[in-house]
Structure 1
Amino acid sequence: MTGLALFLLICAAFCHASWNFIAKQACGGAIFVWLFNAAASIVYIPIVIGSMWVTQSSFSWDYTIFMLGSAVLHVGYFLLLNKGYHVGDLSLVYPLARGTGPLISVLAAILFLGEQPSLLALIGTVFIAIGVFLLLGNPANYVKINASQPVLFAVLAGVFIASYTLWDKYSVSTINVPPVLMYWGATVGQAFLLLPYALKNREEIVHQWITKRLSVIGVAILCPLSYILVLTAMVFTPVSYVAPAREVSILIGAIMGARFLAEGDAKLRITAATVILAGLACLSIG
């Protein structure tokens, strides 16, 4: 993996962990998801125009199919993730969702995209998997605290992560959809897909905008930015390298949840997250 790709993914990881931290505090459900997508659709218009002008890219109506497909998969991911945050800890839900997604992505990339990661890269992926399972701690403890629901939502979110990762990799590297345009289009699509639900809950929209508008704006800026950086890296980097490398954000998310939200098992979760960093190191060398 090139130094540029690694730099982009590390920057994306900080943005990603930060918006998840904000979303966990907000716990706004589907209305919150609609609000930040609607806000992002507006905020990123000048950035999309500027990017298209600088890169001299042109728009093709064929791109809309891939944007819409990405929008559907991202809506499923956001709704499942928000539900997981509603019933569970950030430092449990976030690592599990972000950890299972790349493992599925790597396997699918090898089987369906014909990628052939190096042995060292595969070892790094295994390290990341080990770190994720360590973050979960003793499964018996989660039975005691009734963590079956957050674990279920986190794993399902991981399946959607793998799905949109492969879909978007094909879009930006094979179809050549510009990364900024790709995710902006997907963001607009998400806002439209959730619009019927939002219109039925106008009072909740007003309430959340009044009480959580700073969180909405924060996520509206950081969420697209984090994924645009990832899409840019995926243009010239295999999924089997990008998907696991993104998970340095797990370390950041675990620290945030343990330190700032006073969630339990801080030492275990932070120690396990460092194993993920070892996996990242293998990926960067491999």
Structure 2
Amino acid sequence: MDMWVFLAVLAGAACHAGWNAIVKTGLDPFLSMTLVALAVTALALPMAPFVAVPDVQVWPWLLASMGLHTGYKLFLIQAYRTGDLAQVYPIARGTAPLLVAIVMALGFGESLGAMAQTGMGLLIAGIWLMSVRGGRQRSRPDRRAIGFALLTSVFIAGYTLVDGLGARRNADAHGYVVWLFVFDGLVMLAVLLLRRGPRALGALLPFWRSGLCGGAMSLGSYWVAIWAMTVAPIALVAALRETSVLFALGISAVMLREPPSRWRLLSALTIIAGIAAIRLG
């Protein structure tokens, strides 16, 4: 992986952890997630005239991605309601790269070198270790939170594969990203109106500044990821993107007052070793 791609994905990972922290604060998780999605659409819409409309054969990929992104958001909301950020986030994000790597290797022949595989294994192991003692009950993780986090990981793997392959087929990652997010927020708006009614929109207005901040981080993070998946192996980008758990660890400790244990710090060192191996690979 090129150094600039490597650094860009790491920067995107930091943004990803940031907007997930915003979802965990302020409004309830569903309204927060919807607010961020609407902000992303508001930011993407003015860009639409300046990018090409995706080819006809790419729209099935975009539609599938919208469905997977919506499922991801809804299950992540449930995970955040039953577990703390430092427990749920690592499980949800750490399982997905393994699923992506398996599908890309078996279904598309995109395998990784030995060093990259070692780094990916270390990274995923560190992410999982970080969550083992991360629940509100320090002796064991919350089973409901783990269940929702694992289901969330399936949706993450799904949209990662769909968007990586869809952007490659479109031959224009930028146009793919913009049009994806133009419609993604509209889907969440429809879900909001069906579940909470029009009055729920009024509850979002006081938080529009934090919503725009989270939306900008979400858009930038995934824009970088989709572009990177067009110039580097999808599984490798998916794994490296999950270094966001390191940033989430810091955010949960400083902003959310979820103090890191020695176990999590050891896990962080394992993740850093994985990052180094991926770069050397």
1:134: which partner in 2? 129
Cα pair 1:21 1:253 within 8 Å, conserved:
yes
Q: Report the identity percentage.
A: 28
Change (3 A) 1:160 1:253: same
Distance (Å, rounded) in 1 between the aligned partners of 2:53 and 2:190: 31
Question: RMSD value over aligned CA atoms?
Answer: 2.3
Distance (Å, rounded) in 1 between the aligned partners of 2:65 and 2:146: 24
2:271: which partner in 1? 276
1:213 corresponds to which of 208, 216, 223: 208
Match of 1:26, SS state, is coil
Match of 2:157, SS state, is helix
1:147: which partner in 2? 142
List runs of 5+ in structure 1 lacking aligned partners: none
Alignment partner of 1:193 is 2:199:
no
Distance (Å, rounded) in 2 between the aligned partners of 1:182 and 1:249: 23
Distance (Å, rounded) in 2 between the aligned partners of 1:203 and 1:144: 41
1:38: which partner in 2? 38
> Which letter maps to 2:28?
G
> Which letter maps to 1:202?
P
Cα pair 1:251 1:270 within 8 Å, conserved:
no
Change (3 A) 1:244 1:44: same
Distance (Å, rounded) in 1 between the aligned partners of 2:261 and 2:253: 5
2:21: which partner in 1? 21
Change (3 A) 1:24 1:140: closer
Change (3 A) 1:244 1:181: same
Distance (Å, rounded) in 1 between the aligned partners of 2:123 and 2:151: 18
Distance (Å, rounded) in 1 between the aligned partners of 2:173 and 2:6: 17
List runs of 5+ in structure 2 lacking aligned partners: none
2:200: which partner in 1? 204
Cα pair 2:45 2:182 within 8 Å, conserved:
no
Distance (Å, rounded) in 1 between the aligned partners of 2:10 and 2:136: 32
Q: Deviations over 1:189-244 (max 9, x none)?
A: 3333334332342222211322x222211221111110000111111101121111
> Which letter maps to 1:28?
D
Deviation of 1:179 after TM superposition, in Å, equals 2.1
Cα pair 1:34 1:190 within 8 Å, conserved:
no
Cα pair 1:84 1:150 within 8 Å, conserved:
yes
> Which letter maps to 1:258?
A
Cα pair 2:83 2:135 within 8 Å, conserved:
no
Match of 2:263, SS state, is helix
TM-score normalised over the length of structure 1: 0.89
Change (3 A) 1:146 1:281: closer
TM-score normalised over the length of structure 2: 0.90
Match of 2:24, SS state, is helix
Distance (Å, rounded) in 1 between the aligned partners of 2:226 and 2:191: 29
Deviation of 1:60 after TM superposition, in Å, equals 2.4
Q: Which range is displaced more, 85-94 or 130-139?
A: 130-139
Distance (Å, rounded) in 1 between the aligned partners of 2:16 and 2:245: 9
Cα pair 1:180 1:228 within 8 Å, conserved:
yes
Distance (Å, rounded) in 2 between the aligned partners of 1:46 and 1:139: 41
Cα pair 1:105 1:243 within 8 Å, conserved:
yes
> Which letter maps to 1:260?
M
Could you list the structure 1 runs, at least 4 aligned residues long, displaced by more than 6 angstroms after superposition: none
Change (3 A) 1:130 1:48: same
